[in-house]
Structure 1
Amino acid sequence: MRGFLASSIGVTCAAALALPLSLPSSGARAAAPDAPSAAGPAAEAVPGSTQSIPLASRGSDRALGSAGAREQGLDRRDVRPFSLVGVVWNDPEAELHGTVQVRTRATGTTTWSGWQHVETHNHEHAADPGTPERGGGVRGSTAPLWVGDSDGVEIRVRPEHPTPTNRAAVTPSAAPLPEGLRLELVDPGDEPPPKGPQAEVPRASAMSAQSAASSAVNADLAPIGASVIPALTKRQTEEDLLAARGGSGTVTQASSKTGGKPGSKTGGKSAAKAGPYVGPRPRIITRKGWGADEKLREKDFAYTKTVKAAFVHHSASGNYYRCSQSGAVLRSIYRFHVKSSGWRDFGYNFAVDRCGNIYEGRAGGVAKPVLGAHTLGFNTNSMGIAVLGTYSYSNPPKAAVDAVARLTAWKLGLYGANPRGTTYLKSGGGNLYKKGKNVRLRVISGHRDGFATECPGSRLYNKLGKARSTSARFQGR
């Protein structure tokens, strides 16, 4: 996987920093801009770790009589502190037909949680089939589950036995559990420095080359090293977009009245020029702001041509987190995606927490068409937004749905997409559409629209109509 950068089209630093209308061509990789070396190990200490523990057989099933059909797991044991769990296995194309349950002990206590289910069907959140990111080093994996600060764990992985309803998918001759099952325990590390108004923006000379590069692709939106990209008004956003398109950089809104100049009661055609359909830029917490360790990801950035659609997901990582812990949840999922699952970076382009905070996801620039690994078969010319939590049976908070609307109104607006509309994307292959098929999809779709999956959970999926209408309203449609 690491080697596929060499054959890509070269892109200069200037191109990497360009606005949306002058981005690299489809499939291009932008080399990370050069930056001064780090000031020393203490300049960017971003702690965090992963414990990877092989699972062992726990009894057998004589009816199936196969090593792969036995329950696997670990008995209760003490471990180093961690906050997120997941399971990985050798073959990324193999599915785990069964159930994964864990229980954990809160750090420094004798209190054990009840059994919690880990979502096993996670392979549809990945790079498209046949692409370089699906190459060597990628593993099969469950969804990650946030459990909070813990220092004890027990896990059981039970195969799915054949029944009259699933016999076609699970046969006695099959090995329901894939080979090489390992428990991954992720410690997100400490929080980054404060992000308040008085927080000092680090100098490039005090940042690693990877961190400076990750920040530099947003340099037209915020200073290098900034923890937050500030919000803009709709007018400011429109003026910026017109300037990027070579316009005058000014916007005068058309009158809502039937005729005359804006505010005029006289007849005749209005001379005012309507601005572009784009929502006000929302406040976005950068990778620097949530403490992404830039040394984990691959060095360069991957781009597609444009952004025609947004796929909404839930992270399936559970709802038991405080918004003050969102950065830790993101650092944990990021580490799980890269170190455990073998992906090149965080899979989603953006994340949204339950309080409506918006976070930069995969590196490459929040205004640019960054190629993600979020919707198997439809990563090209799209973006992925993960709402942190599990929304199969729980309603997503209104703040989170509103944040999805604000984010899509801005990002889709940069590329001329109508949140209420439909578009066509070419399938890269999946379980709903064969490779090469042009598929008509809503501009704001749920993951399940492109792949047969539970994601983004029924309760969140049912809120997408509201997100579409609100997003369009923010664009002025």
Structure 2
Amino acid sequence: MRLSLPAALLAGCTAALLLQPAATATPGPGPQRRDFAGGGSTTSLPLPAGTGLAPRGTEPFELLGLGWDGPPDALAGAVVRVRTRNAATGRWTDWHRLAADTEDGPDRATRGATAPLWTGRSDGVAVELRPGPAGPPPGLRLDLVDPGRGAAPDAAAVRTPSPQEPVLPPAEPPATLTPTPPATPTPPTTPTTPATPATPAAPTTPAAPTTLAAGQAPRPGIVTRAGWGADESLRAQDFDYTGPVRAVFVHHTDTTNDYDCSDAPRMIRAIYQYHVKTNGWRDIGYNFLIDRCGTIYEGRAGGVDQPVHGAHTLGFNTDTSGVAALGTFVDDQPPQSLLGGFAAIAAWKLGLTSQPADGSTGLTVGASGTRFTKGDVVDFATISGHRDGVSTECPGGALYAHLPDLRAAAAGLQVS
């Protein structure tokens, strides 16, 4: 395991900040811990005065963020920084800025939160906080997430072979951001076998049928929610569906790239707990996630072959599917195996509704706060980046530069 230091790079966090130490918050309600199946937990440290927390020891955690009971923009203008103590070495990290997460999530969010920060195994935290002009929002708190060992997997779940993945050509240098798609689709090849999580086991969905209709693609192996240890009691128990999926939005999770692929289930459980318990969403926001070894994971519940309504791209969650890369790809190049996973899941998901992976479609803007006017119909490539719909850095310049090649490779997997 190589998660000793956090490496998350959040949108808008590149400017250096020179802050004086924040005052310690006025004593208020003590920590509140909620325990979940498989040893997971979320510990909330109230920040009622909207100031901060002096360095202190805590129960072990691996991801953190600030949440509040007001709307997502209630922390506008605030400056928030955190540092954590490594549980293995006892060393404190540098300061990391947290930014309000207003570009992800459902179109009608009622609670706000910062983007989560993956810290690795930590047992101490300090917070510097300067509220914006409106002051601290109600219910302001720091949430510390321990993903635990995961809920016991479903014994009936089965494992299928890893998918075949297409080879993608390397992108041009990040400054260009416009790699030229290959003239013909690149043939698939066998990916590098990812590390297998030791706990829990990683069951996957059934393999693809042998006969495909025009426009369809083989169904890749997908690690089920049981495979990554989801506690199904956390999420809303009903399922929310949208219309037929006509586009796939590409994301990154803004978390560390320095992880073993066997740690990916822990990271996904932590994001799941944060999205549900801190953000107040009905489930994890993404429909699928992909680790750097190319393993594809089921995200929001409701059926991988169904048009599950996600919470990933503000204003464009309807008739779309959100796929997130575990990691940060602003400057770091995405691994070949991860790109192959993206092409495989996008080709299959779009093929279920006969959408060409290298085509375009019109989407109706479903919320304010996007790059467009609510109610307008906007043309998108059927494989688009998060930044195409909302003013955000996601999915990072390095990953975004590969989208033309991803479209071509995914189209090559679809039967003509």
Range class of TM-score, shorter chain: 0.7 to 0.9
> Partners in 2 of 1:237 and 1:103 — Cα distance?
53
The residue aligned with 1:103 is: 83
The residue aligned with 2:407 is: 468
| Structure 2 residue ranges without an equivalent (≥5) | 1-35, 159-200
The correspondence of residues 333-412 of structure 1 with structure 2, limited to 5 A, is: 333-412=271-350
**Are the equivalent residues in 2 in contact too, given 1:76–1:154 (CA < 8 A)?**
yes
The verdict on how the C-alpha distance between 1:476 and 1:121 changes in structure 2, with shifts beyond 3 A counting, is farther
What CA deviation, in whole Å up to 9, does each residue of 1:376-432 have, x standing for no partner?
111111111111112222222221111110000111001111111110011112331
> Partners in 2 of 1:116 and 1:476 — Cα distance?
46
What CA deviation, in whole Å up to 9, does each residue of 1:169-188 have, x standing for no partner?
xxxxx337544431110000
The verdict on how the C-alpha distance between 1:316 and 1:226 changes in structure 2, with shifts beyond 3 A counting, is closer
Matched, 1:185 2:157: no
Shift, 1:317, TM fit: 2.4
Shift, 1:145, TM fit: 1.1
Secondary structure of 1:151's counterpart equals strand
Matched, 1:113 2:79: no
The residue aligned with 1:450 is: 389
The residue aligned with 1:272 is: none
> Partners in 1 of 2:335 and 2:79 — Cα distance?
28
The correspondence of residues 226-237 of structure 1 with structure 2, limited to 5 A, is: 227-232=203-208, 236=210
What is the count of residue pairs matched by the alignment?
Answer: 337
| Structure 1 residue ranges without an equivalent (≥5) | 1-43, 58-67, 161-173, 204-224, 239-274
- AA paired with 2:411? A
The residue aligned with 1:262 is: none
**Are the equivalent residues in 1 in contact too, given 2:101–2:113 (CA < 8 A)?**
yes
- The partner residue of 1:86 within 55, 59, 65 is 65
> Partners in 2 of 1:462 and 1:45 — Cα distance?
40
Shift, 1:101, TM fit: 2.4
Shift, 1:226, TM fit: 8.4
% identity of equivalent residues? 48
- AA paired with 2:145? V
Superposed CA RMSD? 2.4
Shift, 1:97, TM fit: 2.6
**Are the equivalent residues in 2 in contact too, given 1:97–1:177 (CA < 8 A)?**
no
When the two structures are superposed, what TM-score results if normalisation uses the length of structure 1? 0.66
Secondary structure of 2:42's counterpart equals strand
Select the structure of larger CA radius of gyration. Answer: 1
When the two structures are superposed, what TM-score results if normalisation uses the length of structure 2? 0.76
The residue aligned with 1:439 is: 378
What CA deviation, in whole Å up to 9, does each residue of 1:346-376 have, x standing for no partner?
1111111111110000000000000111111
The residue aligned with 2:113 is: 141
> Partners in 2 of 1:81 and 1:237 — Cα distance?
49
The verdict on how the C-alpha distance between 1:158 and 1:458 changes in structure 2, with shifts beyond 3 A counting, is farther
The residue aligned with 1:46 is: 38
The residue aligned with 1:153 is: 125
